Structure 1
Amino acid sequence: MGRLTYDGTIKVDFDDRVLAHLQLVIGAKIRRGESFHFSWRDDPSVGDGRTVVWIHPASNLSYKYYGSKQPAINRRWLEDLTTSANSAGGLHLVPEPSEAVAEDAP
């Protein structure tokens, strides 16, 4: 389980594999100077609602991984997440598609 921290105040836990994919998608958009919404469903322990944050190049983000191994990256999932991030609704988690061979993370 990993943790994404936004602006030092919003902390959300994701599986390390999910977090690795989010980091790549978010990083690519920030590198290009693109801003977007990122939303996720909250854990029932914090109200079972939904949180939305505005990600922009000056966002204060940190990614904390609790596993020692870097997860394999599913390129198809990166494409699906990027498509989501580029949509009017912004980035949200979409199911991971199957991929014959997941590649090692760069």
Structure 2
Amino acid sequence: MGLLYYGADTTATEIPDRLLAHIKVVIATKLRRNESFTLSWRHPDNTAAGRTTLWLQPSIPLRFVFENPEPETLDPELLRELATMANSSAGVSLSWQAETAPAAAVVELRQPVAA
């Protein structure tokens, strides 16, 4: 599991490495263009019920930590889907639990695209 740190909060959000790698690309692209957007997810079953939404903008510190030292193979279709969500007024909505996840965000169920 990868870790996402945002702002001054020292508590990280755990996100599977493969999904985090895709989100990192979308976030970096948007923030490089000085474009803000929201990133939301439901809390995992083993935590308190609810959901979290972050307002991502360039002036707030952001850090990605990956468990796997090797870079993930990125799925171009998934990147396009996540970028489309990031460009919408609803923002990006993630789920990494198969039973509740939209197909676009369930990265671990997809096979990597061969380069």
Bin of the TM-score, shorter chain as denominator length: 0.7 to 0.9
Q: Distance in 2 between matches of 1:98 and 1:71?
A: 13
Cα gap change, 1:102 to 1:50, in 2 (>3 Å): farther
Which position in structure 2 is the counterpart of 1:95? 106
Residues 5-84 of structure 1 aligned to structure 2 (within 5 Å): 5-9=5-9, 10-84=11-85
1:4 matched residue in structure 2: 4
Distance 1:66 1:99, change over 3 A: closer
Q: State the Cα distance separating 1:99 from its structure 2 match.
A: 6.6
Letter in 1 for 2:13: V
**Structure 1: runs of 5+ lacking an equivalent:** none
Task: Provide the TM-score with structure 2 as the length reference.
Answer: 0.80
CA contact (8 A) 2:75 2:112 kept: no
What is the identity percentage for the equivalent residue pairs of Structure 1 and Structure 2? 35
TM-score (normalizing by structure 1)? 0.87
Structure 2 unaligned blocks of 5 or more:
95-104
Aligned length: 103
State the alpha-carbon separation in 1 of the partners of residues 18 and 34 from structure 2. Answer: 25
**Shift in Å, 1:41:** 1.2
